[in-house]
Chain A
């Protein structure tokens, strides 16, 4: 029914853009994902997708330059992070957001915490909640067609005023210097699946499996530790069920597109970690995904947040020149 059917896209379209308005780029239902796989496989070989992926990779590097991941050794932060992911995935399901919206909100979350420290024994619990809420709301505004009103978001322990949430949104935007357009691994999954399966039909459900692996990885590591393309590449390789040695993987990757992955080491460690995750959680991963480490948090700090008093955030550095330092603009 659509005018621009991807299957019949002529090569001359290579410089034209295709924005999808109705279809979710990534369907959450497995059945839908399979349909998606079938339709997608035919269209990925064009120059168009190569150009698109090149653009994504360029964009990744740009974002990478300005970020400097800080090792979050703090156990409290780790727990709070898992807690945030649980809430985000739950809320995602509630509103029917796409997975990449949830993932994107976690990249905001991690980037925010790499630049700002939340402290104060009492404040930090609600601050983390508020941060998760603001990140998810912002991600929804970037990715979703229908964005819920702030009051529709439910956070169990706290009742945040929408003005407070808006303030937090602004603080996040400001802290991330308005660079909200982070690339997520989901953008690569179809492309990699098609490329790596080399014109053979990929195993059933491989795309949705890759998606689940990416979500599992989101819990496991700080999202700034790996480039999105690396996570997507590793997830796709695991999903395609290749038992690869490092050398084999190198061959595989280089045949795909030279210089696509500059960090083979990183890809391989990601690949190995995902295989472990795959063993742990099995092939069907229900969200929210329960992984080791969560239980440790259950009875500790997160619960004590219940007693934390609500308090207004103060943003002292709020109306300074927001997030565009002179030197960084000269890109």
Chain B
């Protein structure tokens, strides 16, 4: 970011031929993207990438933008995308993530989903307690998280929606703000509504973690019921209590639908052997029959779930957990029943803000903000540090206390469509695997901070840059609508705003325009005292 010294990798700093390629994609940036400031990448999955962005018109509002991988050529719009969007359009519940907008990039027909941003998720919360706090999550938070998760799930199930992929990383928790500590169930890529056809998960080409998979699915059941989600909730509940996954099996990676012996083994070790007595339809399951020698030949001692989760067998928490981890899906507790469980009627009562207990005296844990990889742009490429700046010495960098900006020569591609690279929250930002992290710390110690720019600043910059672009464009002003803000295809002009930097009371902006030929690189800067 910013001062650009962070990554001197020459990746992407290549000749002008690749330059043109990157220009092509950038110059085609659709206008809708301009309503956002991209902060960076926050997630990646089989479906595609997730980015953190801010809405320009409302800087306080953070948005998570999920970009679907382009569908295979010739398949058209991906069924997963259609189903997820269709489901999300119909869902409206406090404990389910809210789809704010759907955008189509008409150039490559890629799809972008804009969601309300949630700062935390159960995966990170659990990890923070396990690795940093080294202390269990307080009972209030566990109960409140679980209650809200069940509340959202009950809503989904009563609308005949099965999630099918519940796991800690899909359970989001809102960060600071009006909805702080509110649970949001996310990622409906595998969700299905009522009788829509279901392929076995492995045939969907998706990799789902098997740790939260219900035993009936592991044994090859062809029917999904909402009970599969409740099994996953049970696993998550246990993980909230112990800070480690309850059944951590080794996944067999084969297609289609391999028999996950190790996962079943892990379950049986804790819960004991399922019997036909307790689970009458067990014998009808494909894998139960086909793998007699493996499972049924093995005798499991029953060490008891309570000893694994460190709960007294008579406690309400234990009672609820064991009902969620009931082998027979028909006997497994439903979300509606679970919400009525005695566990939720006893102190501490679950509240809306799961992270901050209403009672005083409890220590409030501050969770880290989500790591943001600021080196990845919307194309998912990491070809260039946004910050490569470019300018050496001169008045601009001379006025900065920040680290030295190395000068560069030669043409440089500008893969970023976005114009600003400031952080939303410098304090908590982490940069995993990036040398930028060290720089960031360094700068903070020096008393400088990245600004969360104001609308005013934005507007000013935009106008200015726009006029500069017009200037650079010279006589060839075209009708290309994407040129307004972005990069022009096949021209020598590239524009990048590199820095948005705050020092003392004044905001200093640097905008650098540069051409393929470094000799004609124009460096410009100006400062504006906002206050």
State yes or no: do A and B come from one complex.
Answer: yes
- Taking Cβ atoms with an 8 Å cutoff, the residues of A that contact B are 1-5, 10, 12-13, 15-22, 25, 52, 55, 59, 62, 137-138, 141-145, 147, 149-151, 162-163, 165-167, 169-170, 173-174, 177-181, 187, 315, 318-324, 331
A292 to B90, CA, bound (A): 39
17 contacts between A and B (CB under 8 A): A3-B281, A4-B330, A16-B225, A16-B334, A17-B160, A137-B76, A141-B77, A145-B197, A147-B79, A162-B76, A167-B106, A169-B77, A178-B102, A180-B82, A181-B193, A315-B106, A322-B104
CB-based contact B90/A181 at 8 Å = yes
CB distance from B336 to the nearest CB of A (A): 6
Write the chain B residue with the least CB distance to A153. Answer: B76
CB-based contact A150/B330 at 8 Å = no
A298 to B30, CA, bound (A): 43
Q: Which chain A residues border B221 with CB–CB below 8 Å?
A: 2-4
CB distance from A22 to the nearest CB of B (A): 5
Q: Which chain A residues border B79 with CB–CB below 8 Å?
A: 141-142, 147
Interface string of B52-92 (1 = CB under 8 A from A): 00000000000000000001011111010011011101101
CB-based contact B74/A162 at 8 Å = yes
CB distance from B202 to the nearest CB of A (A): 13
CB distance from A269 to the nearest CB of B (A): 29
Partner of B330, one of A12, A149, A169: A12
Interface string of B190-222 (1 = CB under 8 A from A): 001111111110000000000000001000011
A147 to B196, CA, bound (A): 13
A62 to B159, CA, bound (A): 13
Partner of B32, one of A173, A315, A319, A323: A319
Apart from A151-B74, A179-B90, A319-B30, 12 more pairs, CB < 8 Å: A1-B284, A16-B157, A19-B198, A21-B222, A21-B224, A55-B194, A62-B90, A143-B196, A173-B82, A178-B102, A179-B89, A181-B86
Chain B contributes a number of interface residues (CB within 8 A of A) equal to: 58
CB distance from B521 to the nearest CB of A (A): 33
Partner of A19, one of B83, B225, B284, B329: B225
CB-based contact B82/A15 at 8 Å = no
Write the chain B residue with the least CB distance to A150. Answer: B76
Interface string of B165-195 (1 = CB under 8 A from A): 0000000000000000000000000001111
Q: Which chain A residues border B76 with CB–CB below 8 Å?
A: 137, 141, 150, 162, 165-166, 169
B396 interface hit (Cβ, 8 Å): no
Write the chain B residue with the least CB distance to A177. Answer: B89
Residue in A3, A165, A318 whose Cβ sees the most chain B Cβ within 10 Å: A3
CB-based contact A18/B225 at 8 Å = yes
CB-based contact B162/A3 at 8 Å = no
Closest 9 CB pairs of A and B: A141-B79, A166-B76, A318-B106, A319-B30, A319-B106, A145-B197, A162-B74, A17-B226, A322-B102
If the complex has contacts A147-B79, A178-B85, are A324 and B223 also in contact, measured as CB distance less than 8 A?
A: no
CB-based contact A4/B225 at 8 Å = yes
A42 to B224, CA, bound (A): 21
CB-based contact B92/A173 at 8 Å = no
Residue in A20, A149, A151, A319 whose Cβ sees the most chain B Cβ within 10 Å: A319
CB-based contact A318/B197 at 8 Å = no
Q: Which chain B residues border A145 with CB–CB below 8 Å?
A: 197-199
B residues 318-343 with Cβ under 8 Å of A? 329-330, 334-336
A167 to B107, CA, bound (A): 10
Write the chain B residue with the least CB distance to A10. Answer: B330
If the complex has contacts A3-B221, A17-B162, A169-B77, are A142 and B82 also in contact, measured as CB distance less than 8 A?
A: yes
A273 to B103, CA, bound (A): 43
Q: Which chain B residues border A173 with CB–CB below 8 Å?
A: 77, 82, 85
If the complex has contacts A150-B75, A167-B109, A319-B31, are A141 and B82 also in contact, measured as CB distance less than 8 A?
A: yes
If the complex has contacts A17-B157, A17-B226, A52-B160, are A150 and B197 also in contact, measured as CB distance less than 8 A?
A: no
A17 to B199, CA, bound (A): 16
Write the chain A residue with the least CB distance to B74. Answer: A162
Partner of B194, one of A12, A19, A321: A19
CB-based contact B32/A13 at 8 Å = no
Write the chain B residue with the least CB distance to A141. Answer: B79
Write the chain B residue with the least CB distance to A163. Answer: B109
CB distance from B190 to the nearest CB of A (A): 12
A323 to B32, CA, bound (A): 13
If the complex has contacts A141-B79, A142-B83, A180-B82, are A150 and B74 also in contact, measured as CB distance less than 8 A?
A: yes
A153 to B425, CA, bound (A): 50
B452 interface hit (Cβ, 8 Å): no
Q: Which chain A residues border B261 with CB–CB below 8 Å?
A: none
B382 interface hit (Cβ, 8 Å): no
B296 interface hit (Cβ, 8 Å): no
Partner of B158, one of A15, A25, A59: A15
Partner of B101, one of A55, A167, A322: A322
CB distance from A161 to the nearest CB of B (A): 10
Residue in B102, B160, B223, B335 whose Cβ sees the most chain A Cβ within 10 Å: B223
If the complex has contacts A3-B284, A17-B225, A322-B103, are A166 and B89 also in contact, measured as CB distance less than 8 A?
A: no
Q: Which chain B residues border A55 with CB–CB below 8 Å?
A: 158-160, 194
CB-based contact B71/A166 at 8 Å = yes
A167 to B225, CA, bound (A): 35
CB distance from A95 to the nearest CB of B (A): 14
Q: Which chain A residues border B329 with CB–CB below 8 Å?
A: 3-4, 16
CB distance from A229 to the nearest CB of B (A): 15
Partner of B285, one of A3, A15, A59, A137: A3
B105 interface hit (Cβ, 8 Å): yes
Q: Which chain B residues border A141 with CB–CB below 8 Å?
A: 76-77, 79, 82-83
A159 to B109, CA, bound (A): 20
If the complex has contacts A137-B76, A162-B76, are A2 and B104 also in contact, measured as CB distance less than 8 A?
A: no
A141 to B86, CA, bound (A): 12
If the complex has contacts A1-B284, A177-B89, A179-B86, are A17 and B106 also in contact, measured as CB distance less than 8 A?
A: no
A174 to B32, CA, bound (A): 15
If the complex has contacts A150-B74, A162-B74, A166-B109, are A4 and B196 also in contact, measured as CB distance less than 8 A?
A: no
B residues 113-164 with Cβ under 8 Å of A? 157-162
Partner of A324, one of B102, B105, B158: B102
CB-based contact A144/B82 at 8 Å = no
CB-based contact A18/B223 at 8 Å = yes
Write the chain A residue with the least CB distance to B216. Answer: A3
CB-based contact A17/B82 at 8 Å = no
Partner of B103, one of A22, A166, A321: A321
A320 to B216, CA, bound (A): 45
CB-based contact B197/A143 at 8 Å = yes
B246 interface hit (Cβ, 8 Å): no
CB-based contact A319/B103 at 8 Å = yes
Q: Which chain A residues border B243 with CB–CB below 8 Å?
A: none
A110 to B281, CA, bound (A): 45
CB-based contact A170/B109 at 8 Å = yes
